[in-house]
């Protein structure tokens, strides 16, 4: 069992007690809610005559269903409008802060909480969305939860959870030019497998993560769940504190000084014991792209789609399924694969630094004929910042559409959907069958810079050729 790790310390500090099931009742410091997984939870609360116990520890935004073009109310999609109204009503009735469209702070739940300083080291955080692991970038322990657990947190501010093992994933060295945080996490998942992290929290350590900025760290932690880990985190350090200082909800004055002392104390000890340790060399990580139907089916940009006999026996069946669904043949290069749609956005890669990297590639070039390319900022603040820097102009001059903030084609619960067999180059986090709105649509995951490169070439290419 892990000992002396940040996970261990934060878990113990938030333990309320042990339940008859043997699970821990864990206090949740911050609960983030959105329109998709909360309406039923509030309904369950009402049925039982319960109230939200700590409304001040619950923050709401709207992200999954928002249109990214016409946001006029009522929404054209009546189901989306109903969800929106339910969230507005539930927040109002329960005194919950809601960052609605036009508030200046709306956006994807995992983008807005860090940018406002709500996400802080040593916290426990829960949200009814799988990619809540994002918040671990700050040294928080953050869990994606289901609707009945959203109900539990609303009613009791606690969750019943079984303690996880901790795997330290160490990556050392400087990434090569054209290799980004997204490539690092795709490489890790590809190596350890999509189920490799089941039962674990992932602690990311080593000089590569130390050199990353907070947004890059968020990209890595965001996809921990795609590697099977329930959460992922990075110990807080100077980079974390510099990012947090001065943000809306960050401690101020003497509280700040006290907070830093506490944050330093919850870091994993130098002699911490881990349940497992895996070490990577940053120099071995290439720009990485998925070819299949799980985020673990990835390859280096200049590699060939693996043949079944090159894969472990357990991976062969899903590979066969992927060749046929994706219409990509084993033994062929992924470079040169024609793309129809290019999507830059999501809670993985919809932050300002992602847009800056993609804009560097798009600048002075033009989207290839027949390709639909669009950029969806992760939040209203990201959009505002990008426009202040003129990134929107770079994108639109290059033929990209510049949209309003939201989840958009990450999950396609709004009007942004693939059509038929379209193939998308996407900076999001899941390439499951039908994920982007068409039951037969296909997705290749990659970094935002690689998506921009695919957009201007009309096919998957090595972004380094354009840098």
- Chain residues in the site for ligand SF4 (CB under 6 A): 63-64, 108-110, 129, 131, 346-347, 407, 410-411, 428-429
Least distance to ligand SF4, CB of residue 259, Å: 27
- Distance linking the first and last C-alpha atoms of the chain: 45
**What is d(CA 226, CA 195) in angstroms, rounded to the nearest whole number?**
8
Least distance to ligand SF4, CB of residue 410, Å: 3
Least distance to ligand SF4, CB of residue 30, Å: 16
Q: Give 64 or 403: the residue with its C-beta nearer to ligand SF4.
A: 64
Residues β-bridged to residue 61: 99
Query: Any known ligand binding at 347?
Result: yes
Sheet containing 15-18, strands listed edge to edge, beginning at the edge strand earlier in sequence: 15-18, 24-27, 158-161
Q: Give 101 or 109: the residue with its C-beta nearer to ligand SF4.
A: 109
- The token duo for 54 is 């700590």
Least distance to ligand SF4, CB of residue 363, Å: 25
Least distance to ligand SF4, CB of residue 38, Å: 13
Side-chain half-sphere exposure of 16, counting CA atoms within 13 A: 14
Q: Give 205 or 220: the residue with its C-beta nearer to ligand SF4.
A: 220
Burial 347-368 (b: 16+ CB within 10 A, else e): bbbbbbbbbbbbbbbbeebebb
Burial 193-232 (b: 16+ CB within 10 A, else e): bbebbeebbbbbbbebbbebebbbbbbbbbbbbbbbbbbb
**What is d(CA 127, CA 121) in angstroms, rounded to the nearest whole number?**
17
For residue 37, the surrounding DSSP H or E stretch is none
Least distance to ligand SF4, CB of residue 218, Å: 11
Residues β-bridged to residue 205: 170
**SS3 category, 448:** helix
Residues β-bridged to residue 278: 169
Q: Give 268 or 429: the residue with its C-beta nearer to ligand SF4.
A: 429
Q: Are 11 and 273 in contact (CB under 8 A)?
A: no
Q: Give 83 or 109: the residue with its C-beta nearer to ligand SF4.
A: 109
Q: Which of 340, 357, 227 is nearest to 287 (CA)?
A: 357
**SS3 category, 264:** helix
**What is d(CA 244, CA 260) in angstroms, rounded to the nearest whole number?**
11
DSSP 70: -
Least distance to ligand SF4, CB of residue 411, Å: 4
**What is d(CA 184, CA 174) in angstroms, rounded to the nearest whole number?**
11
Least distance to ligand SF4, CB of residue 144, Å: 9
Burial (CB count <10 Å: 0-12, 13-18, 19+), residue 15: middle
Least distance to ligand SF4, CB of residue 430, Å: 7
Least distance to ligand SF4, CB of residue 64, Å: 5
Q: Give 101 or 410: the residue with its C-beta nearer to ligand SF4.
A: 410
Q: Give 262 or 432: the residue with its C-beta nearer to ligand SF4.
A: 432
**What is d(CA 464, CA 287) in angstroms, rounded to the nearest whole number?**
9
**SS3 category, 161:** strand
Q: Give 63 or 357: the residue with its C-beta nearer to ligand SF4.
A: 63
Residues β-bridged to residue 288: 300
Q: Give 64 or 163: the residue with its C-beta nearer to ligand SF4.
A: 64
Q: Give 129 or 315: the residue with its C-beta nearer to ligand SF4.
A: 129
Polymer length of the chain:
467
Query: Any known ligand binding at 407?
Result: yes
Query: Any known ligand binding at 91?
Result: no
Binding site: what residues are annotated?
347, 407, 410
Q: Output the known binding site for [4Fe-4S] cluster.
A: 347, 407, 410
């Amino acid at each position: 069992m892990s000992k002396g790790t940040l996970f261990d310390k934060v878990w113990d500090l938030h333990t309320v007690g042990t339940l008859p099931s043997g699970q821990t009742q864990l206090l949740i410091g911050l609960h983030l809610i959105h329109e998709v997984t909360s309406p039923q939870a509030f309904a369950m609360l009402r049925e039982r005559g319960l109230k939200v116990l700590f409304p001040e520890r619950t923050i709401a935004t709207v992200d999954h269903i928002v249109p990214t073009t016409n946001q006029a109310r009522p929404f054209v999609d009546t189901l989306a409008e109903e969800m929106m109204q339910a969230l507005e009503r539930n927040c109002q009735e329960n005194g919950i802060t809601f960052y609605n469209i036009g508030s200046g702070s709306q956006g994807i739940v995992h983008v807005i909480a860090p940018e406002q300083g709500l996400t802080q080291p040593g916290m426990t955080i829960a949200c009814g969305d799988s990619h809540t692991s994002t918040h671990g970038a700050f040294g928080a322990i953050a869990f994606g939860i289901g609707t009945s657990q959203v109900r539990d947190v609303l009613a009791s501010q606690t969750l019943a959870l079984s303690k996880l093992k901790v795997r330290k994933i160490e990556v050392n060295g400087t990434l090569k030019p054209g290799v980004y945080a997204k490539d690092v996490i795709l490489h890790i998942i590809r190596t350890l497998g999509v189920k490799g992290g089941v039962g674990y929290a992932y602690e990311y350590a080593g000089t590569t993560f130390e050199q990353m900025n907070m947004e890059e760290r968020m990209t890595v932690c965001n996809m921990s769940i795609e590697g099977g880990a329930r959460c992922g985190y990075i110990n807080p350090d100077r980079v974390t504190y510099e990012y947090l200082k001065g943000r809306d909800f960050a401690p101020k004055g003497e509280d700040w000084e006290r907070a830093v002392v506490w944050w330093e104390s919850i870091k994993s000890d130098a002699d911490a014991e881990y349940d497992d340790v895996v070490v990577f060399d940053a120099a071995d990580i290439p720009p990485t792209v998925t070819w299949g139907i799980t985020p673990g089916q990835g390859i280096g940009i200049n590699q060939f789609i693996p043949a079944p006999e090159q894969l472990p026996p357990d991976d062969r069946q899903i590979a066969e399924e992927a060749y046929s669904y994706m219409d990509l043949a084993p033994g062929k290069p992924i470079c040169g694969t024609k793309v129809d749609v290019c999507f830059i956005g999501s809670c993985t890669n919809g932050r300002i630094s992602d847009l800056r990297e993609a804009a560097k590639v798009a600048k002075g070039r033009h989207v290839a004929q027949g390709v639909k390319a669009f950029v969806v900022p992760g939040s209203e603040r990201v959009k505002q910042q990008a426009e202040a820097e003129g990134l929107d102009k770079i994108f639109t001059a290059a033929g990209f559409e510049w949209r309003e903030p939201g989840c958009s084609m990450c999950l396609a619960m709004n009007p942004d959907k693939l059509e038929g067999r379209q193939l998308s180059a996407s900076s999001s986090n899941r390439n499951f069958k039908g994920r982007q709105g068409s039951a037969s649509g296909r997705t290749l995951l990659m970094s935002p810079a690689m998506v921009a490169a695919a957009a201007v070439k009309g096919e998957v290419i090595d972004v380094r050729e354009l840098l």
